[in-house]
Amino acid sequence: MKRLYLFLVLIIFISCGKESTNEPEKKTPTSDSSEYFPLAESNEWRYYEAGNQDATRSIRVWQTITINDSLFYLYGNKLFSADTLYQDQWGRVYKRWNGHTQMWLDFSVDHEGTYQYKLSESLDYTVTVIKNQSVSYDDQSFDNCISIAFDVDALADEEMTYIFAPKVGMVQSIGAWLTTYLATWDLK
């Protein structure tokens, strides 16, 4: 009888432990949002800085590589310093950093919803997603955009906001010290 009692106590203890988790809820998206960041080899976007339309900087998908049976994209200004990105079947974008892969851009978050993006103890970003935005500048206009804003409450001037348009990609980035605008793009 004592063994049965100990066994029941152990089962209850294990069951209670599983229910009291501090992990954030992981929701499965209801639709594919990959159109907001169309990653394909040779896709290219050219940006200019606010106040300097003549100087453009090209960002592109240089190539793909496979890591642990997953397809990653090398995305950036230069191949040797490119970010290593993975896009899941729902369009969420993960960034590989110091041997770890973590979600960077989650287009499936509800309007005005948040999630965490932690790079280190001092860089724990609260990321806010704003949907259905319109962005206009120069002779371009983009509708149904998603804005993804990164902020560390305890730090000043580290904020960064990226705005993505469907079937285009990032159309604007807004930082404390630099704002860039999409000039042209070439998607394969």
**From first to last of its 188 residues, what are the pLDDT tens digits of the chain?**
444 343 333 333 333 433 333 333 456 777 788 999 999 999 999 999 987 877 789 999 999 999 999 999 999 999 999 999 999 999 999 999 888 899 999 999 999 999 999 988 888 999 999 999 999 998 899 999 999 999 998 888 889 999 999 999 999 999 988 999 999 999 99
Residue range of the domain that includes 177: 32-48+56-186
CA distance 163 to 136: 12
Q: Work out the number of other CB atoms within 10 angstroms of the CB of residue 174.
A: 16
Tell me how far CA of residue 80 lies from CA of 11, 37, 60, 187, in angstroms: 53, 21, 12, 22
Question: Would you state the structure tokens that stand for residue 169, as one six-digit string?
Answer: 């990609």
On whether residue 4 sits in a domain, the answer given is: no
The number of folded domains in the chain is: 1
At residue 17, the pLDDT reads: 39
Is residue 129 one of the residues assigned to a domain? Answer: yes
Burial zone of 20 (CB within 10 Å; 0-12 exposed, 13-18 middle, 19+ buried) = exposed
pLDDT of the residue at 165 = 97
Flag whether 23 is in a domain: no
Please check whether residue 10 lies inside any domain of the structure: no
**Between β-strands 93-97 and 169-175, what pairing exists: parallel, antiparallel or unpaired?**
unpaired
In a domain, 165, yes or no: yes
11 φ, ψ (degrees, to nearest 5): -60, -45
Please indicate, yes or no, if residue 6 is contained in any of the structural domains: no
Q: Is residue 143 a part of any domain in this protein?
A: yes
Radius of gyration of the chain (CA): 21
d(CA 7, CA 67): 43
- Please indicate, yes or no, if residue 76 is contained in any of the structural domains: yes
- Given this model, what pLDDT does residue 73 score? 97
CA distance 157 to 7: 56
Specify the pLDDT at position 75: 97
**pLDDT given at position 26:** 59
CA angle 64, 68, 71 (to 5 degrees): 25
Q: What pLDDT, on a 0 to 100 scale, did the predictor assign at position 98?
A: 85
d(Cα 156, Cα 153) in Å, to the nearest integer? 8
